Amino acid sequence: MRHGKAGLKTGRTSSHRDAMFRNMVTSLFKHGRIRTTDTKARELRRWADHLITLAKRGDLHARRQALAIVREKTVVHKLFEEAAHRFGSVSGGYAKIVKLGTRKGDAASISLIELMGAETVRKEKKKKKKQEDEG
């Protein structure tokens, strides 16, 4: 029985699975969106929500817990700087999964997972860039 066993196995060893999701969540926070299979996207959403909740707390212990998962300091710094602004009023559901169809090679279901609020951040960056170009 699997009582109390959260998370998906995905046919990998635990060390491989942890390393894979650490890399994927780092890429998600670095780029804002990534393409992956549906199963991995659903599990990745759990990891991302946990890290954003840590970033919203914002204290030193939360930052160290995030650094234990995401090994790039710049990504963690960016996450902690933007989390309160982007996700402050929302309590959960920080990532959106959009189904794209099937992969041609093996017919695996492919999804796009992206962080909510990414549209507003992109618009603000464009405004800043436009202001810098004008001024």
Domain boundaries, the chain: 14-134
Question: What's the pLDDT tens digit per position in 72-121?
Answer: 999 999 999 998 888 888 888 899 999 999 999 999 999 999 998 755 55
Domain 14-134: give its CATH architecture.
Alpha-Beta Complex (3.90)
pTM comes to 0.81
Tokens 């402050």, residue located: 88
What's at 128, amino acid-wise?
Answer: K
Measured torsion, CA atoms of residues 89, 94, 100, 101, in degrees rounded to the nearest 10: -130
Looking at the DSSP bridge assignments, the partners of residue 36 are: 111
Cβ neighbours for 128, distance < 8 A, ≥ 6 positions apart: none
Question: What's the pLDDT tens digit per position in 26-46?
Answer: 999 999 999 999 999 999 999
State how far the alpha carbon of 113 is from the alpha carbons of 4, 13, 75, 125, in Å.
26, 24, 17, 21
